Amino acid sequence: MIDGAGIDWEDAFLNAPYIPDGMTFPELWRTRAEAFRQQAKCELDVPYGDHPRERLDLFFPEGPSKGLAVIVHGGFWLKFDKSSWSDLAEGALAHGWTVAMPSYVLAPEATLPEITEQVAQAISVAASRVEGPIRLSGHSAGGHLVTRMVCNDTPLTTKTAGRIERVVSISGLHDLRPLLLHSMNENLRLDANSAAAESAALCTALPDVKVTAWVGACERPEFLRQSALLVAAWGRQGVPIDLVTDPKRHHFDVIEGLKSADHPLTTAFAGD
């Protein structure tokens, strides 16, 4: 749909057609993650609710755990699950973190507010099993979900939210109002009120959490805008927040840095 400003919102959120061999990435992710699980020290499909998708995977470091690092998958809240991303735990594991990766019930079966609640429940269950500080990261829709965890109306308990010390949102979506003009909203079922309430850039952030909005320099303009908007909005609130534009990275490979212990993305997420 084209709005009054002449923006084609259908096109604005498209990624694969603008990325060389864009349609090949999902199979690459799946294959790579499966190979990683075969050799990882892990506990798979830990339940955090009754629905078959309310499951999380835990990956354990070789030595003592520094705390809990959570990585939430993307897919516009409409597709994918935890099994495509297991290898993204590599960088945080190398820094000594226990890594949790949850799935969640997808739209249209679940609304976005319900998905937000599910991710909070997944974090709470993982936090009950892993002591120490908590760090959160997520990609695209997952970037939305982790920033929602540190809004003042977070569904997390005060105790769990108080353990969160860093959030890294990778190509996150922080202003959901444009999705009201996109065909995917037939499944997301957002209205003006829920779109605003679920937009982290329109919320007040919890204090004392270090936030990074990380985005690929070669991403679509709307994803660049979304990260910049969060930094501007939360920066005005005094939140310690940085914007990092990763050179030569697009929406599908911007997450690659999480695989390397010494990559700046992993350092921002899991470093000292």
**Domain-by-domain residue ranges, the chain?**
9-270
- At residue 253, the 3 state secondary structure works out as coil
d(CA 56, CA 104): 9
d(CA 97, CA 180): 38
- CATH code that applies to domain 9-270: 3.40.50.1820
Residue 3 has pLDDT above 90, yes or no: no
Strand 68-72 to 55-59 pairing? unpaired
Mean pLDDT of 19-43: 97
Phi, psi at 42, each rounded to 5°: -150, 165
Residue 63 carries which DSSP code?
A: S
CB 239 within 8 A of CB 209: yes
pTM of full prediction above 0.95: yes
CB 33 within 8 A of CB 86: yes
Angle between helices 112-129 and 141-148 (to 10 degrees): 70
Q: List b or e across 42-59, with b for residues whose CB sees 16 or more CB atoms inside 10 angstroms.
A: beeebebbeeeebbbbbb
| CA 75 to chain CA centroid, nearest Å | 10
How many percent of the chain have pLDDT more than 90? 97
Residue 69 has pLDDT above 80, yes or no: yes
> How high is the pLDDT of residue 7?
85
pLDDT band at residue 183 under the 50/70/90 scheme: very high
Residue 2 has pLDDT above 60, yes or no: no
